[in-house]
Chain A
Amino acid sequence: MHDPSPAPGPWAIEADNLWKRYRRRWALQECSFRVPAGRVCAMVGPNGAGKSTFLGIAARLVQPSSGSLRLCGVPVSDPAVLSRVAYLAQDKPLYPRFTVADTLRLGRELNPRWDQALAERIVRSGNIAPSARVGTLSGGQRTRVAFALAFGKRPDLLLLDEPMSDLDPLARDELSGLLMAEAAEHGTTVLMSSHMLSEVEEMCDHLLVLADGRLRMAGPADALVPAHTLVTGLAVDGRVPPELTEHHTVVEARVSGRQFSALVRPNGPLAGTPGAPAAAAWDTLSPSLEEVLLACMRAPGAPALVLDEPRKETAA
């Protein structure tokens, strides 16, 4: 609407076989996924899973070892991508001796698409004086100023590295509200890494799960969760029944006593052990998002579930 260049495609993020190697270990391995524009996407994974590495690649702070990444249709190898993307590092670095007004001027001087009125509105709605020095602000206020700087840039894609991790519950609530409202108003795609699964459930409609540098799961939240079923039933010889492991994808399974419980991706109707008494039938439950995410992160060996994978479409 304010940008004369061709409208961003339907994909905000297109990662194709992205690899990143640090000196001794792989931080990211064969990452391929796509995120449609306009989504609020959460990137979930244990520490060291490669979340910050991916965000760093997207912000041109880290160079990928191989593979390609396009943001809003622009490859990250092109410096022009920086005018489409705003990045907020985990510790929200700002110059402590700058005043809030100076900090907004920094955004204005370095960004041609800068929206001063929007940035000022975000700062003002937090009751922060423009003449206050950034070093004297509270954590929540600093995050608000950093958000103002990010939104004032009018990005098509906002990259946030654990934006709420160091905030108290009040500031967290206030700023996630701000984030959702501004993103919805401007149609900004948001990609945020987070440890807070409740926060993810509440805010995000698209999910990326990383573990050990590999993509475990990617897709819309409302498609990923129904793809899973929580199955409980009688264990066979102290193990999960072979009928289950043979016909369905078991993400994670546990046996306690005579019972097993497993999170599976069913490939067809789930039936109990054939010919067994009714007591041996399996109980199925719909898992919560949190249960699916935890199981996915706990079981890095399970096959990945990637919806909207770019190569699938080209192969079809």
Chain B
Amino acid sequence: MSTATTPKTGTGRAAGGALHGTLWLVWRRHRTALLAGILLTLAACALFSYQRIGLMGFLGDHGAPDALQDEFRTRFDGAFNSDLSFLRYIPVVVAVFLGAPLISSELERGTVHLVTTQSTGRGRWLATTLALPLTLVTVCTTLLAVVFQWLWAPARSLVVGGDWLNSGPFDVTGPVLAAKTLFLTACGIALGKLLKRMIPAMVATAFTAAAVSVVWGEKVVARLGTPLRLTYPYDGDGPALPADAVRFDDWVATADGRLYGFGTCVHDAQPDACRAKLGIVHRVTEYFSYDQMAAMQWRGAALLLALTAVLLAFVVWRARRRPL
């Protein structure tokens, strides 16, 4: 610990006591938001741990999966759904309320002229302004994702009907939650730098987040892995998918593996003749197995983090090329 040689004035605050230089400034500027974030993270982790105790008790008491499904639904669905929607809103909330105002509020109020003309200079200030909030965001979201995964994994085939891909768990466990939060926050910071006004930057960030979430869900997630295929006779029932697998798509196919859309010939006047003509004899189910989830998450996170790096590089480049 360094000893302060200058006399202390005003009310000394414990949280800012160990921080110095630009680190102190950035903490002091955003301490309400950052402290709220840290406390909320800890509270959510405590809640997840408490929920896990109840869940493990329930899973230990029951053996038959079929009966389990209904009772699980009545007892845990509400809790898991609210956990999932809380976690899915985190990236948006952080981006809108921390990312967008981060630089735009300084530009709007002109305080950027105050801090960038002190002896430490612009580069140090910008580096700390970006690094401290983003580091805390990374730590908090990673912690939340890890603890939630710990809660969710034992019941993964029961939560939201086992659909981990589209109903939430994919986005809020593993590295995806942190990567998504960082990416949207970087969007907010860049929009704030461009728009130079706080409220427009927050609104633009909210719209960007909505657009990103649509593109992510519709276009990106399913391309992060290659679905597995299960082929079985056209008239047969086919083997059941594993409980924790996610059905992706269904096809019909010829003997040599040519795929046709699931509805092929269904509305034809003579469906059997139509299928015979095309040579359709199989049904094919494409699915993602739970084993693939981690790899897909890392691929998605790598994509988001690469985009984050591009956005932050853009912010730093703009700030260096044209003084704020």
Interface residues of A (CB under 8 A from B): 59-63, 79, 82-83, 85-87, 89, 91, 93-96, 98-102, 104-114, 116-117, 120, 130-131, 149, 153
Interchain CB contact under 8 A, A87 and B110: no
> Does B236 sit within 8 A of A, measured CB to CB?
no
Considering only CB atoms, which chain A residue lies closest to B19 in the complex?
A109
The 9 A-B pairs of least Cβ separation, nearest first, read A101-B10, A110-B118, A93-B110, A83-B119, A87-B117, A111-B119, A93-B111, A89-B113, A79-B121
Beyond A60-B116, A61-B113, A106-B115, 9 additional contacts (C-beta under 8 Å) are A63-B323, A98-B28, A99-B10, A100-B10, A105-B28, A110-B119, A111-B119, A111-B120, A117-B7
Q: Contacts A60-B117, A94-B114, A110-B22; is A101 near B323 (CB within 8 Å)? A: no
State in angstroms the CA–CA spacing of A131 and B120 once bound together: 26
Interchain CB contact under 8 A, B323 and A60: yes
> Does B20 sit within 8 A of A, measured CB to CB?
yes
User: Which residues does chain B contribute within 8 Å of A105, judged by CB atoms?
Assistant: 9-10, 24, 28
User: Which residues does chain A contribute within 8 Å of B24, judged by CB atoms?
Assistant: 105, 109
State in angstroms the CA–CA spacing of A123 and B218 once bound together: 59
Interchain CB contact under 8 A, B323 and A89: no
User: Which residues does chain A contribute within 8 Å of B7, judged by CB atoms?
Assistant: 116-117
Q: Looking at the assembled complex, report how far the CB atom of B139 sits from the nearest CB atom of chain A, in whole angstroms.
A: 23
Interchain CB contact under 8 A, A109 and B25: yes
State in angstroms the CA–CA spacing of A153 and B122 once bound together: 16
State in angstroms the CA–CA spacing of A98 and B111 once bound together: 12
> Does B21 sit within 8 A of A, measured CB to CB?
yes
User: Which residues does chain A contribute within 8 Å of B20, judged by CB atoms?
Assistant: 109
Interchain CB contact under 8 A, B119 and A61: no
Considering only residues 9-38 of chain B, those with a C-beta below 8 Å from chain A are 9-11, 20-22, 24-25, 28-29
User: Which residues does chain B contribute within 8 Å of A62, judged by CB atoms?
Assistant: 323
> Does B109 sit within 8 A of A, measured CB to CB?
yes
Considering only CB atoms, which chain A residue lies closest to B118 in the complex?
A110
Q: Looking at the assembled complex, report how far the CB atom of B92 sits from the nearest CB atom of chain A, in whole angstroms.
A: 25
What's the count of A-B pairs with C-beta under 8 Å?
A: 95
State in angstroms the CA–CA spacing of A16 and B22 once bound together: 34
User: Which residues does chain A contribute within 8 Å of B82, judged by CB atoms?
Assistant: none
Most chain A CB atoms below 10 A, which of B119, B120, B324: B119
State in angstroms the CA–CA spacing of A85 and B123 once bound together: 17
Number of chain B residues close to chain A: CB under 8 A: 30
User: Which residues does chain A contribute within 8 Å of B21, judged by CB atoms?
Assistant: 109-110
Q: Contacts A98-B28, A101-B10, A116-B6; is A110 near B110 (CB within 8 Å)? A: no
State in angstroms the CA–CA spacing of A202 and B106 once bound together: 35
State in angstroms the CA–CA spacing of A101 and B28 once bound together: 12
Q: Looking at the assembled complex, report how far the CB atom of A314 sits from the nearest CB atom of chain B, in whole angstroms.
A: 30
Considering only CB atoms, which chain B residue lies closest to A113 in the complex?
B119
Q: Looking at the assembled complex, report how far the CB atom of A137 sits from the nearest CB atom of chain B, in whole angstroms.
A: 15
State in angstroms the CA–CA spacing of A239 and B49 once bound together: 95
Q: Contacts A109-B22, A110-B25, A131-B11; is A61 near B6 (CB within 8 Å)? A: no
Q: Contacts A89-B110, A110-B22; is A61 near B29 (CB within 8 Å)? A: no
Q: Contacts A106-B25, A110-B21, A130-B9; is A89 near B114 (CB within 8 Å)? A: yes
State in angstroms the CA–CA spacing of A83 and B110 once bound together: 20
A-B contact pairs, 19 of them (CB 8 A): A59-B113, A60-B323, A61-B113, A82-B121, A93-B110, A95-B111, A101-B10, A102-B10, A106-B25, A106-B115, A108-B6, A109-B24, A110-B119, A110-B120, A111-B118, A112-B119, A116-B9, A130-B9, A153-B119
State in angstroms the CA–CA spacing of A111 and B10 once bound together: 19
B6, B28, B323: the one contacting A114 at CB < 8 Å is: B6
Considering only CB atoms, which chain A residue lies closest to B112 in the complex?
A93
Q: Looking at the assembled complex, report how far the CB atom of B70 sits from the nearest CB atom of chain A, in whole angstroms.
A: 53
User: Which residues does chain A contribute within 8 Å of B22, judged by CB atoms?
Assistant: 109-110
Considering only CB atoms, which chain A residue lies closest to B11 in the complex?
A131
State in angstroms the CA–CA spacing of A104 and B29 once bound together: 14
User: Which residues does chain B contribute within 8 Å of A111, judged by CB atoms?
Assistant: 118-120
